[in-house]
Amino acid sequence: MVKSRSTHTPGPEVMHEMSIAQALLNLAMEEAQKHHLTRVTRLTVQVGEMAAVIPEVLSFSFSILTPHTLLEGATMEIEVVPIVAQCPHCHILFEVEHLNFRCPDCGVVSDTVLSGQELLLISIDGEKGVR
């Protein structure tokens, strides 16, 4: 089997997911160096629903960026965190669907987002170079 090394060169219309993948890659590289890993095999990330990423596109973008890095071939587990907002009027917490920030109880629009904006590296698995 011949492995293709061809990559898509991101044009001016760089995908939204691509910049998020780059940010997560940078975070993972920092972590890997901190823990003296020579290779990262898996990482788990949390991405808030507000970021509006398509997980498949994100992991695909990631796989384009990782060759020749410590993260080459690593798999990315993506947890999408739902958007939770708090109503400024009746203070209940509610899950925001389809970017509708209106309180389901009283109808007041919330501007207090408690979760759903995450872009977090939760964990990485890898190997240390010691044999």
Residues of the shown chain interacting with Zn ion in the complex, contacts defined by CB under 5 A: 87, 89-90, 103, 105-106, 108
Measured in degrees and rounded to the nearest 5, phi and psi for residue 51 equal -70, -15
Q: Are 28 and 71 in contact (CB under 8 A)?
A: yes
Nearer to Zn ion, 62 or 94 (CB): 94
Minimum distance, C-beta of residue 39 to Zn ion, in the bound complex (Å):
50
Structure tokens at 92: 């209940």
Least Å distance between CB 104 and Zn ion? Answer: 8
In the bound state with Zn ion, the residue whose beta carbon lies nearer, of 23 and 106, is 106
Nearest to 83 by CA among 121, 122, 113: 113
Nearer to Zn ion, 76 or 85 (CB): 85
Smallest distance, Zn ion to C-beta of residue 105, A: 4
If the CB atoms of residues 67 and 88 are measured against Zn ion, the closer one turns out to be 88
Minimum distance from residue 113 beta carbon to Zn ion (Å) = 15
Residues 6+ apart with CB under 8 A from 123: 43, 44
The SS3 assignment for 111 reads coil
Q: Which residues have C-beta within 8 Å of that of residue 63, sequence separation ≥ 6?
A: none
